[in-house]
């Protein structure tokens, strides 16, 4: 009985009424995510850094599927390729695959509670990383190592925080005149 109440409370949180989303806000969150991806970190932390652009794209596709499409994802991927100095097009292709998976699963993800959403996000992020790995291996690179998929795990762990952080400005403000 207690578990059922907990699940209903979790679903009520995800079904809250939010203010309308403006295009500038979506672009701003994607720009901040791109800047977070560009942060210089020590090598041991750089290996674990999640793909903030991928997480942000997943959020917008899952919760506002008509607002963000493949073109912004592709352009963000090309920007990541340029600033990361990686093979041109690998992030763009990975973000296109990420978008496809997120669009394919968005109705299912919205229905689930946060724990199940984390598992779906993990699968989507790992799929995008697998696409990048295939591109690198096809281009002749060596396998990067056993911690290659660690950023997907870290990103999935950060999903509830990203979810709440992106929604924070969209929540209705308290009416100061209400009693």
Tell me the pLDDT tens digit for each residue of 6-53: 555 555 554 567 767 788 999 999 999 999 998 888 887 888 999 999
| pLDDT(5) > 60 | no
The model's confidence at residue 3, banded by pLDDT at 50, 70 and 90, is low
Quick one: what percent of the chain has pLDDT higher than 70?
Answer: 87
Q: What is the structure's pLDDT at 13? A: 52
- Return the percent helix, strand and coil in the chain, to nearest 5: 70, 0, 30
Domains of the chain by start residue, with CATH:
2-170 (1.10.1760)
Q: If you ran DSSP here, which 8-state letter would residue 112 be given?
A: S
| CB contact at 8 A, 30 and 76 | yes
Q: What is the structure's pLDDT at 23? A: 83
Render pLDDT for 42-85 as a digit per residue (tens, 0 to 9): 887 888 999 999 999 999 999 888 888 899 999 999 999 998 88
Which class for 146: exposed (0-12), middle (13-18), buried (19 or more C-beta within 10 A)?
Answer: exposed
């Amino acid at each position: 009985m207690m578990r059922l109440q907990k699940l209903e409370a979790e679903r009520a949180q995800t079904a809250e009424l939010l203010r309308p989303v403006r295009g500038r806000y979506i672009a701003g969150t994607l720009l901040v995510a791109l800047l977070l991806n560009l942060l210089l970190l020590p090598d041991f932390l750089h290996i674990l850094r999640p793909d903030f652009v991928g997480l942000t794209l997943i959020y917008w596709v899952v919760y506002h599927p008509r607002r963000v499409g493949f073109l912004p994802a592709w352009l963000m991927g090309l920007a990541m390729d340029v600033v990361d100095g990686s093979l041109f097009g690998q992030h763009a292709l990975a973000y296109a695959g990420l978008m496809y998976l997120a669009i394919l699963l968005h109705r299912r993800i919205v229905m689930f509670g946060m724990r199940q959403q984390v598992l779906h996000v993990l699968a989507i992020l790992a799929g995008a990383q697998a696409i990048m790995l295939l591109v690198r291996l096809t281009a002749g690179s060596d396998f990067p190592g056993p911690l290659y998929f660690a950023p997907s795990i870290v990103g999935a762990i950060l999903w509830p925080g990203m979810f709440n952080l992106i929604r924070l400005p969209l929540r209705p403000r308290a009416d100061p005149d209400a009693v």
